Structures are given as C-alpha cells and as structure tokens.
Amino acid sequence: MSRESSQANRSREAQQEAEQTAARLAVALSSWEAVIGLEVHAQLRTRTKLFCACSTAFGAEPNSQVCPVCLGHPGVLPVPNREAVVLAVRMGLATGCAVRERSIWARKNYFYPDLPKNYQITQFDRPICEHGEVRFAVAAGPRSARLRRIHLEEDAGKSKHPEKAGETLSRIDLNRCGTPLIEIVSEPDLRGPEEAYAYLAALKEILEHTGVCDGNMEEGSLRCDANVSVRRRGETALGTRTELKNLNSFRFVEKAIIYEILRQIARLETGGTIEQETLLWEPALGRTRTMRSKEDAHDYRYFPEPDLPPLIVSPDWIAEIALALPELPEAKRARLRRAYGLGEGEVEILVRQPEVCDYFEQVVAGGGDSRLASVWVLTELVGHLNRLGRQITDSPVPVPEMVALLQRLAAGKLTGKLAKMALEEMVDTGSTAELVIQAHGWEVVSDDRAILQFIDAVIASNPAGVAEYRAGKDSNFRWLVGQVMKLSRGQVDPRRTEELLRQALADPDA
C-alpha cells in the first residue's frame, strides 16, 4: 500500500471515529447536561518577568534567564512589573470586569522541583479583576459565559520528564519562573465541548487584539484547564467535578472534554460515583489518567505576601488604561461590515488575523478599492506569503506598492491575469509594481487599432469557429474572446475587446 493510500485510510478512519463519538455524545446529552468552567493561563506580553528584570523571551538556553529574585534566594525582594499590571487591567476592561482599586498579593505554598521558592506569588481572595463576561457564538446562536475573576500571578519552571528508553532523570528549566501570567476563571456556564471551544476562541481573540497575550499555545503562552461535571437534565445542583490539565490546543480541549463527559455519564449510569480529582489528558492515547486527588484551597496555605504591599490601581490610572484600549473583536466585525461591505468569511479572516487586517485597511486608506483589496490581500498576497513561509508584517510588497497595483487594475491598465503575474514577481523579487510591469511590457493595450489587429488575426485563423457563431452558436463568442486574449498574452482591455469583437463578427465582410 502506498503512503498516500495509507494516509487516506487513516483519515477516513479518524473521520468515522469522530462521527461515532459525536453520535454517542448527542445520545448521552439527550438525558444529561454537561457543566463546564475553564481556567485559562495567559502569559502577558512583557519583556521582563513579573517581579524581576529577567527576560521572558522564548527559546533561550535552559536556566539562562534567571536571577536571585526568580530563583528565590534568601534576602531578595520582588518588585512588581508595571506593564504587567496595565495588561491585566486592560484584559479586565475588555471583558467588562470591575477593576479592584486595592488588590492583595498572596503566597500559594506547595513543593515541586520546578518551584524553587516552594511558593508562588499570586492573588487569592482579592484579585485585580472580577465579574466580567465573554460573548461567543455557536451553531445554535449567541452565548455568553460569566467571568469569576482575573488575577495576576507568576509562573513556575518547566519539568522535562524521561520520554525515551534508557532515560532516568527528569530535568528542570527555571527560565519560566516568575513569568507574568493572568489566570482567567470562568463560571461553570458552558454546556458542552462546542461552547467550550467557542468560548476559548473568543477569549483568545480578545487577548490578541488587546495585545495582552500572543496566544501561542505551542510555546505555552496560553494554557487551559477544564473543570467538568455532569447532571441529569432538569437538575440544578452541580455534580462532582474533575479538573482536566495538559490541554495545550483547542483540539485537545474539545477532545478531552468529550471524553470526560462520556466517561462520567457512563460511570453514573452504571451506579458508580465520580471522584473529585485532577486528570491529565494523554493525546496519544485519547484518554485521561489520574494525576492526583483534588486539593482544596486550604491545602495551599494561602496568606498575604509579606514582601509586597497591596497593589493600588487608582481611578485615574484605570481611566488612562481604558482610554488606550484598542478596538475589540465584536466592534471590529461590525465596523468592517459597515465600512467596506465585506462578507462574513472575509470579516472573520480579518478579525482573526489582526496584522492582515491592518495591512488591508492601510491599502484601502491609501487609495485601493476595498472589494479588490479584500481579494488581492486576503487571497493572492497571503497565499504567496504562505508559500514563502513569511508573515504579512514581513511582506516584500509594501502597502504603497499594493495600492499602485490595485489602482492599475481598477483603471483597466492591467488585466487580472497580468496583475497576478506582476504580484507574484513583486513578492519573489521585492520589486515595485511599475518596474515589473515596464520590464515585461504588461500594460494593457487599450488602443482600438491595436486590439483590432489581434481580432482580425483570430477571425482569419478560425473561420469554422466564426461561421458557427454567426450561425447561432453563442458559446463560441467566449472561446473567440479567449483566443484574442491568448494571442495578445492577456494584454488587451477585456471589455473593449468584447465590444470590438462583436462589431467585427456582425460584419459579414470581416
């Protein structure tokens, strides 16, 4: 069996398994209801850590971005990162939270090898933001989930456990120690994996649009834990919940929640009980396994951080942060539809890719037609950049050059085919629209005499096709137009060519 056939079979099997799982879930949820809350840790986009000046850059050599403060050496004192506070407040305002003017730092005490201080500085009973909301949409319509709290905290290090045969030692990288995070805790308002996925996607959009977090789950910038329980439909009391960890992609969040819902329902329907515990998701096996029994809050022995005074965020400071709040995704969707007349698909691409949206709007502001820009930026340019593995922020076609290309196209000085060829060369070489077009002589021929020369040549060389058209076979007209375009290498004005060709074909002496 070829590799392609094997891959196709695996794809079909995966599709069949997904369909079977969806069917099982639909049956199970006809009698039961899932109750889900998400705890999302988002790394703040700061250059330095929460309480020291160490870098937060990703990918450095292990244990190279540490200092006595983040390593917890005796006698050191933490100093809060002002920018981290600004970003936390910004996220609170973006989700409609109340921002607490006086919040308290706390120590969360536990022992683990990647936590050198044996405690984590966080916020417990007085978080910086509370009582917000995230709105999202699913197939059944709009939904929302309340936010219980958003609080600041520092990250722990990272443990790398043995993965290969013969390895016996776990290794510790403390570079992440002290990295600034916000934890965003939802109320248990989500009622299924589809809602959890959509909520997480909406939250990620807000984090990215506000510049609070880059949303990169592969690098650990965004991590999610899910609290899942089930109850009979019609009941109001919450069931015993389990906490799912190790969810580092949207797909894993969805799969883990589906698995846990089905597991809990099957256990309860056979007379069993659900234990409150923390579970790890194992993607390779497609199942969960027990990590530990669930600790209650008092197990962490929270108490106010003695080395830090209360965090004061004055009303004036909150107002200043609110004034600088960027446009949020919902408002952007409405504005893009209203201002440019774009379709839903185009709007979604622009909202989900802020850098592409910025480029598009700059092109329109520079004089490019919005309808042309939506096609040529979102499809043509982005397609070439994907081919080269480049981002639009690193585009070899500056905004003024894209405007110049689109203006030539709108004015009829370029055909669509020639514009595509020009853009490809502009991307590959970094040249300007004018130089590329002049170098190849790609300017559209609009002179009637020049166009008629191509038309006369096509009519003379295709007498049978011309005769069939004159005998009533209208479809031949498009074919004859294509022959003129081919002969002219696509350089004649298409609309004027059609007009002159119809006139020539109507003349029996032609």
pLDDT tens-digit map of 375-421: 999 999 999 999 999 999 999 999 999 999 999 999 888 888 889 99
- Parallel/antiparallel/unpaired status of strands 141-154 and 129-138: antiparallel
Whether the pTM exceeds 0.85: the reply is: no
CB-based burial, 92-104: b 16+ in 10 Å, e otherwise: bbbbebebbeebb
> In whole angstroms, what is the distance from residue 376 CA to residue 422 CA?
12
Q: What is the pLDDT of residues 129-141, one digit of tens each?
A: 999 999 999 999 9
> In whole angstroms, what is the distance from residue 28 CA to residue 265 CA?
7
List the beta bridge partners of residue 312: 102
Residue 486 is predicted with a pLDDT of 81
Q: What is the pLDDT of residues 422-431, one digit of tens each?
A: 999 999 999 9
Residue 446 is predicted with a pLDDT of 66
Residue 297 is predicted with a pLDDT of 45
Sign of CA dihedral 383, 389, 394, 398: negative
Residues 6+ apart with CB under 8 A from 236: none
Q: What percent of the chain has pLDDT over 70?
A: 95
- Give the up-direction half-sphere exposure of residue 2: CA atoms within 13 A in the CB hemisphere: 3
| Average pLDDT of span 138-151 | 95
Phi, psi of 309 (to 5 degrees): -75, 170
CB-based burial, 142-181: b 16+ in 10 Å, e otherwise: ebebebbbbbbbbbbbeeeeeeeeeeeeeebbbbbbbbbb
| Average pLDDT of span 166-191 | 93
DSSP 53: -
Residue 219: CB atoms within 10 A of its CB come to 12
Residue 508 is predicted with a pLDDT of 62
Q: What is the mean pLDDT of the chain?
A: 90
Indicate the residue type of 77: L
- Domain locations in the chain? 32-317, 327-440, 448-506
| Average pLDDT of span 185-203 | 95
Q: What is the pLDDT of residues 275-313, one digit of tens each?
A: 999 898 888 888 888 877 655 445 788 999 999 999 999
Chain centroid to CA 335: how far? Answer: 20
Structure tokens at 50: 């929460």
| Average pLDDT of span 244-273 | 92
Least confident stretch, 9-13, 184-188, 473-477:
9-13
Phi, psi of 225 (to 5 degrees): -115, 145
Q: What is the pLDDT of residues 50-78, one digit of tens each?
A: 999 999 999 899 999 999 999 999 999 99
Q: Which pLDDT band holds residue 478 (cuts at 50, 70, 90)?
A: confident
Q: Which pLDDT band holds residue 273 (cuts at 50, 70, 90)?
A: very high
Is the domain covering 448-506 a CATH 3.30.465.10 domain? Answer: no
Q: Which pLDDT band holds residue 447 (cuts at 50, 70, 90)?
A: low
